[in-house]
Amino acid sequence: MSVTPVPFGARLAQAISTHGHLCVGIDPHPGLLQAWGLPDDAEGLRRFSSVLLGAAEGRAAAIKPQVALYERHGSRGLAVLEELLEQAREAGVLSVADAKRGDIGSTMAGYAQAWLGEDSPLRADSVTLSPYLGVGALMPALELAEQTGRGVWVLGLTSNPEGQRVQHAGGPDSAAGRVVADVAAWNREHGDVPLGSVGLVVGATTGSAAKDLGIDLGAGRPPLLTPGYGAQGATAADLRRDFAGVWDQVLVPASRSLAHNGPSGVVQCVVEAARDLAA
């Protein structure tokens, strides 16, 4: 007899309630590896990843490995990422694979199987996706995520200036607004209590963009992944101001600001960031 999986949105809401809003980003940039005295190879990735996961366990709601920084090492790097995701599952730490995949048809189905399939060694609790071939093109991932109790994060409003030319286009009927509306519709139909399992990526430094574009980030209760806190300039006060009314939906990633003091300082940085976001 098959067991219906607990939806990702419910698991994330519980993790935020228990551990707070912090998501530990695991971004093994070459410069950080060098600063830590680690080699820029698979073993360096493995040691870096282990420290960040250890610091996140019991102190943060989730981890977010940046897939590109593993992929650049080819199969050896992806093997380390597989290990990290497995270790996170064993530790009970939710994972966000920051892969930003997006395509159509069987190719999108392949990406979905890679990151959300029950038998995939790369399976994560959730994955970031790009909707700019149309949210409908992401359907293989949305459907598989629902079947397996996993989640997706759809790029909504990103903080890079170039993104505004596409995302803000159309004013009141903006491209970003249509993406958010499609996500809200999916969550309403497939379950949005306490949170939907289809979330949005909304940059922490986008300020009042959602309000200015008439976008309701509360519609459909999407989890909100808000990169930009810490090293990129956004403060906890900025986040609470700009996401007032939807704060319980917010998951705040931080990476460089947690790793800049070296491996011996990571736990303290995680504790301080979690406290900052809880204040």
pLDDT tens across 153-210, in order?
999 999 898 999 999 998 779 999 999 999 999 999 999 999 999 999 999 999 999 9
Give the catalytic positions in this structure: 100
Going by their DSSP bridges, the two strands 250-254 and 62-65 should be labelled as unpaired
Give the span between the Cα atoms of 187 and 170, in whole angstroms: 24
Position 76: which residue type? Answer: R
Domains in the chain with CATH codes: 8-278 (3.20.20.70)
Distance CA 228, CA 25 (A): 11
The one-digit pLDDT tens for each residue of the chain (279 residues) are 568 899 999 999 999 999 999 999 999 999 999 999 999 999 999 999 999 999 999 999 999 999 999 999 999 999 999 999 999 999 999 999 999 999 999 999 999 999 999 999 999 999 999 999 999 999 999 999 999 999 999 999 998 989 999 999 987 799 999 999 999 999 999 999 999 999 999 999 999 999 999 999 999 999 999 999 988 889 999 999 999 999 999 999 999 999 999 999 999 999 999 999 997
Read off the amino acid at residue 260: H
Name the β-bridge partners of 201: 155, 225
Q: Which residues of 104-131 are buried (b: 16+ CB within 10 A; e: fewer)?
A: eeeebbebbbbbbbeeeebbbbbbbbbb
Partners of residue 63 on adjacent β-strands = 24, 95
**Alpha carbon distance 121, 196 (integer Å):** 25
